[in-house]
């Protein structure tokens, strides 16, 4: 039991990947004050948590009702992740002004960085009602809350990281993370295709 809980926690931690969210948070909130940054961080985590918990409850039922296979969802999610990574690598960061009609807590922080393709897919797989009991699913829900709390801690500490790294350091980290994200997205798509067509190495 303890081993499974630890394994699920690590899977969720890797899927949400709080470290990956920090550079983007620093970039999109660069022109906001300290109080606004704190509010954006809390809102982003709450929104992402609501999305992920909703997928644990009804995600598979919705896909089944629409006759969408998990592999198709996984490939689509991987493509979105790949587009995100290309933007990180190739484009200059766009600083959003408060009241500009685009709330950074919703996009890109909550969706797709925290509640992104990989995290949504992970929570759906870990709460598969055909495989896991209700107790197992509730435990995953508790672990998800812990991971989100850790993510919030990382975001609240992002200001300190910004002071140390400056804009140049953040830009470098963002592009390096974009390259890593592109590789992860590509692997994600390849795994889905391999599983869908029962391919073996």
pLDDT in tens, 21-74: 887 898 888 889 999 999 999 999 999 999 999 988 888 788 888 888 878 877
41 preceded by a cis bond (ω within 30 of 0): no
Mean pLDDT of 158-186: 76
7 preceded by a cis bond (ω within 30 of 0): no
Q: Let me know if residue 52 belongs to a domain.
A: yes
Return the pLDDT at 201. Answer: 56
Q: What stretches of 32-157 show up as alpha helix (H) in DSSP?
A: 34-54, 60-65, 70-90, 117-126, 134-156
Highest mean pLDDT pick, 32-36, 159-163, 197-201: 32-36
Q: Let me know if residue 201 belongs to a domain.
A: no
Is pTM beyond 0.75? Reply is no
Where in the sequence is the domain holding 79, given as residue range(s)?
Answer: 2-196
CA distance 38 to 199: 47
Q: Let me know if residue 53 belongs to a domain.
A: yes
Checking if the pLDDT of 99 tops 50, the result is no
Mean pLDDT of 98-110: 76
Checking if the pLDDT of 91 tops 80, the result is no
How many domains in the chain? Answer: 1
Mean pLDDT of 158-170: 75
């Amino acid at each position: 039991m303890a081993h499974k809980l630890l394994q699920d926690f690590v899977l969720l931690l890797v899927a949400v990947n709080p470290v990956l969210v920090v550079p983007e948070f620093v970039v999109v909130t660069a022109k906001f004050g300290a109080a606004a940054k704190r509010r954006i961080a809390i809102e982003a985590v709450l929104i992402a948590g609501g999305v992920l918990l909703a997928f644990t409850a009804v995600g598979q039922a919705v896909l089944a009702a629409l006759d969408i296979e998990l592999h198709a969802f996984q490939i689509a999610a991987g493509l979105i992740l790949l587009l995100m990574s290309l933007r990180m690598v190739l484009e200059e960061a766009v600083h959003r002004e408060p009241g500009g009609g685009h709330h950074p807590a919703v996009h890109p922080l909550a969706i797709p960085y925290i509640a992104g393709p990989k995290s949504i897919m992970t929570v759906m797989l870990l709460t598969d009602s055909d495989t896991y009991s209700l107790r197992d699913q509730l435990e995953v829900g508790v672990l998800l809350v812990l991971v989100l709390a850790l993510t919030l801690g990382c975001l609240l500490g992002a200001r300190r990281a910004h002071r140390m790294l400056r804009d140049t350091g953040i830009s470098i980290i963002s592009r390096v993370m974009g390259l890593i994200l592109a590789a992860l997205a590509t692997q994600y798509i390849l795994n889905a295709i391999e599983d869908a067509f029962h391919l073996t190495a």
